[in-house]
Chain A
Amino acid sequence: MKPILVAHFSKKLGDFSLNVNLELGKEVLVLFGPSGSGKTSILRCISGLLTPDQGLIELNGQVLFSSDGKRVKANVPVHLRQIGFVFQDYALFPHMTVAQNILYGCKDRKKGKELLSILMEKMRLKGLEGHYPHQLSGGQKQRVAIARALMAEPKLLLLDEPFSALDRPVRRKLQSDLLRLQEELAIPVVLVTHDLEDAFAMGHKLAVVNDGKIEQIGEKEEVFRHPRTRAVARFIGARNILEGKVVGKDEGAVHIEWMGLVLEAPPQEVTVGSDVVFCIRPEDVMIVRPDRPVREGIKENLLTGVIVREIHRGNHYSLFFKATSVETGRDYDFEISIPVHAYWRLDLKVGKEVMVSLKKSALHIIPEP
């Protein structure tokens, strides 16, 4: 499939520089990264509100920006790019009603009236036509801002931290509405967030942004399961990042020595004898049930130890596990995430001795630490 959005560009911004390489079809790309990593600036460059130093930006085959760093060959002005942009603070026009706001970017008055009622319906704004922005709740403002962007029939929609100011139920509802809308409109969407949960919920594709650079971009699952750098592993919440040495490999597994213990990881391109960094997500550290035989899939990489600390996080527990079978000198060795019901079933508590398995299929060697 030919990509709809192609963006390869760089820009110096003060003391750091943006470096972007991405291509996108009719799907949702989440730009995920810490605050100040340059996510918003990437959106601004694509929309034309910022001008890159050099590079190429194309939408549906039309060149929006092109420069070799010396001469700008093309730079379509913002208002001709047909790129919708929803700002983080919504930026609704305070002197216009909801209907006037939404109709502002409408090109065809007659068609606009029709589209207005469809958008009001779909964005759950019915009855608010005559309200002014200051009379709306945060969630309603965000919906108006999105409807306003869609009224202009954009070929690409950019959303800057669309959920950051909304509470959880409002956020969930808006997320599902947005996903449905994106499917209907079949346009690419680029969404910026620093929230891991939002990134999980929204993206088809995920790009991890750090220090102005796209560290990794790919299918969401792929990035979550197989982070390419230590920074990516940290941002996506891999939590347990360890250092070891490859001591052997065969077609079935890579053997990593860690603290005198040999762990098995799925086969991967590594050199025997090299030092490696590997990681495992907290939900992939399995607590073995003492009353049952160890089942297939978690019989490798077994460790015994104690739970030294726990944090109840609502629907799951974070447990901090200290291995007794090896001596690492740290106050805890692994973070484990376990659903509340499993926590109760296993009768876990701080101080309890347990056996855990670092699930082999989830043990991932970071290729470029």
Chain B
Amino acid sequence: MDLSPLFLSLKVAFVATILTAITGLGFAILMARARFPGKSLVEALLTLPLALPPSSVGYYLLVIMGRNGPLGWLGWLFTWKAAVLASWIVALPLMFRTAKAALESVDISLEMVARTLGKPPWRAFVDVTLPLAGRGILAGVILSFARALGEFGATLMVAGNIPGKTRTIPLAIYTATQINRMDIASFWVIVTAALAYAFILAVNKLQEK
């Protein structure tokens, strides 16, 4: 049996999660701390992929990465890199919102005290707020990984369904049912269910006090 969808899914999800974790945390810090005009609009924009059908996210990516699009020169369309971009965009709101909530749950007076003890604002943030928000941030990372692993709609649009190249587990399930190979489909369904269940257990564990 061809196990390439498993390794491909893990590779895509892993790279996408790194991207999501860095950018999502960055936006979370910005949105939790900075004040600027139009902040609520930016915040809504960052959450948008959560509410949009993944296929319309895929459509936008297709336009951007298409031959005449601004990122067309990269030539990433229908490669695993396009799947990474799709997973990144779709998982970003989860990471951003979880991390922001975690940062905001830390009492701001702790950072103030750290500053009165001689630490510049960034040190106070790194020493106090970041570690205290750590579990929440990690929960965001795991959720992002799970979301990236399950990405289907946008990936299908921009990466296609090329066996061994861009066929991830969700695509493999879809393909198997199309050709009536329920044995293959149910194998992948069990694999994804087990992974997803493990992730949810881990997130719950992190979020309990």
Contact = CB atoms under 8 A, between A and B. Distances in A.
Contacts of B114: 93, 104
Contacts of A47: 116
Contact of B117 (A77, A94, A105): A105
A33 interface: no
Contacts of B118: 79-80, 82, 105, 107, 152
Given A87-B113, A93-B110, A79 B119 contact: yes
B112 interface: yes
B101 interface: no
A148 B117 contact: yes
B53 interface: no
B116 A94 contact: no
A79 B131 contact: no
Contacts of A83: 116
Contact of A84 (B112, B116, B131): B116
Given A94-B132, A95-B131, A89 B116 contact: no
B31 to A, nearest CB: 22
A78 B116 contact: yes
Interface residues of A, number: 24
- Secondary structure at the B interface, as helix, strand, loop or mixed, is helix
Contacts of A85: 112-113, 116
B129 to A, nearest CB: 10
B115 A78 contact: yes
A149 B117 contact: yes
Nearest to A104: B117
Contact of A91 (B109, B127, B132): B109
A77 B121 CA distance: 9
Contacts of B132: 94-95
B50 interface: no
Nearest 5 pairs between A and B by C-beta?
A105-B117, A85-B116, A78-B115, A91-B113, A91-B109
Interface of B: 107, 109-110, 112-121, 124, 127-128, 131-132
22 contacts: A49-B115, A78-B116, A79-B117, A79-B118, A79-B119, A79-B124, A81-B116, A83-B116, A84-B116, A84-B117, A87-B112, A89-B109, A91-B107, A91-B113, A93-B113, A104-B114, A104-B127, A107-B118, A148-B117, A149-B116, A152-B117, A152-B118
